[in-house]
A and B are shown apart, each in its own frame.
Chain A
Amino acid sequence: MERLIKIGAEANIYLSTWHGLKVIKKVRRTKPYWREELDLKIRRSRTIRETYYINLVKKFGILTPVIYFSDPFKGEIVMEYIKGERVKDVVEKDITKSYDLFYDIGRKLAIMHAHNIIHGDPTTSNFITKEDKLYIIDFGLTFYSQRIEDKAVDLHLLKQVIKSAHPKYFEETFRKVIDGYSNVYPLANKILENVKEIERRGRYATF
C-alpha cells in the first residue's frame, strides 16, 4: 500500500510501508528538462549525498529521519516517517512557537557549519517540528566545505526564503536564527559579514 503525499521539486514523496513500518519513500523523478546523462548523474549523486549526510549529521546530535534503504540507481530512499509539522506552516499559525524553532534552526545550522557541512537547501519546508523537537530533512544538495563563502550562501538562502515567504515576521525570525547561530559558532560574525557581501553582489542591490 502506497500513497503519494507530495510532489516535491525533484522527488515524489510516498507514504509507504517497509517490513511493517510506516515509512516515507522518496523517489527522485526523471526530469524532462535534463538531458539523459545529466539526469542520471544528478539523481544518482543527490541520492547518495542525501543518504550519506542524513546519517552523518546524526553524529553531531542533529535529528534527521532514519534511513532504512537507499537505491542510488533508482533514485529511491526509504526513510522514517516523521509525523510533524513543517516550520513553514508553523510560522503562519503560531508565531511565538516558531521563534523558538528559528533559534534552534540557527543553532543546528551552526553545528553543521562548524563541522564544515553545508545543507544547501535550508528552506522553511525542510525543517519539521515534532513534539517540540526540530528535524532537518532534504540533504540532496548538501556538501562538505570549509569555505566561509559557502556557509554564508547557506545562511543567505534561509534569509531569502524567510524574507519572501514570511515577510511579516522576517525581522524577528531571522534575528532568532542569528542568535542561535552566533551562540554556538565562534565564526558567526565573519560569516554574517559575508552574507552582507553576497547581498551587495546581487542584481541592483542598494546599500
Chain B
Amino acid sequence: MDAIILQILNGLDKGSAYALIALGLTLIFGTLGVVNFAHGALFMIGAFCAVTLSRLLSLSHKVEVPGAVDFLGNPQTRDVPYIYDIFGESLGAGIIDWAVPLSILFAIPVMILIGVIMERGLIKHFYKRPHADQILVTFGLAIVLQEVIKYYYGANPIPTPAPSAFVGSFDFGALVGFEPGTIIYPYWRLVYFAFAALIIGAVFAFLQFTTFGMVVRAGMADRETVGLLGINIDKRFTIMFGLAAAVAGLAGVMYTPINSPNYHMGMDFLVLSFVVVVVGGMGSLPGAVLAGFLLGILESFASMREVIDIIPGINQVIIYLVAIIILLTRPRGLMGRKGVMED
C-alpha cells in the first residue's frame, strides 16, 4: 500500500509538468488549430527566465572588508549583491533565496510577450497552410530558440535551487498513519503539484466563468459564426496564445529546482507532451490534463523494481506503448471531441 502511494506521489510532479505543457498545446490547437512544435521551447524559455532572474538578483559589486588584508597587504574585498544595498542584508538574502518563486512574476509578462510576438509574427501566416507545414515551421522555430538560449547560457545544465524553506523532504507516511520513513516526499515537488493544480484551475475558471473565456470557447466551437457576430476573435485567440505560452513558461519556471535547466529540456518534454495531448484527445482541455497526470503516474509505476523485474525496460516505453494502444483503440483519444483533426 505505501509503495503504491509513493509511486502515485512520484508520478504527480512529472504528471503536473506534462499536464501543464499539454494544456498549453491544447489551448493553442483548440483555438488556432495550429500544431505547435515550439511549445517545448516555451517551457524551456520559462525555465531560463528563472535562471535569468536569479542571476540578475545576484549581480554584485566588490566592497572592502574593513581591517582585513590579504597576504599581499591589499585590502580584502567581498562580493555584495546590489540587492543588499537596496533592501538591506537580511531582506536581500531572502529575495535571492526566493528567486525561483519570484521569477513567476517576471516570467508571466515575458512569456505572454513572446507568445504574442510568435503568433503575430509567424504563426498567423500559417493558418491556411497544411498541418505538416505548421509542424515544420514551429519545429524550425524550436531549433532556433533552443540555439539562441544555448548561445547565451551555454550547453551545461544550470542548477537553480528552490528556496531553502522548501529544501528537504517530509514524511508523508507518518502524516497519514503509516510507519514513519516509508513515504518520504520532497517539499518542492508538493509545491510544484499544488502550483500546477492552481494554474490548471485558474485556466479552467478563466475559460468557464469570464465573458472573455466564454467568447473564446464559442470561438473554439465555431470561429466563423463568432466572427460574424462582430467579435474580433483573432485578437482574443492571440491573447490565448500568449496565455498558453505563459502556462508553459510557468511550468518551466517552477520545474527548475527539480531538474536543472539546459537548452534541450524543452525538446525532451515536447515529444512526451505531444503523446499526452494525443492520448487525452486533440482539442480537449480536460483530456490533456487527465492524460498528463495519468501518464506521469503510469510512468512512475512502471519504474518500480517489481514491475521492471517482470517486464524489463517497461519504464522506458510505457508512455509510448499506452499512446499506441489508445490511438489504435480509441482514435479520438480519451476525451477527444468529434470532428477535431479526424483526417
Q: Do A and B come from one complex?
A: no
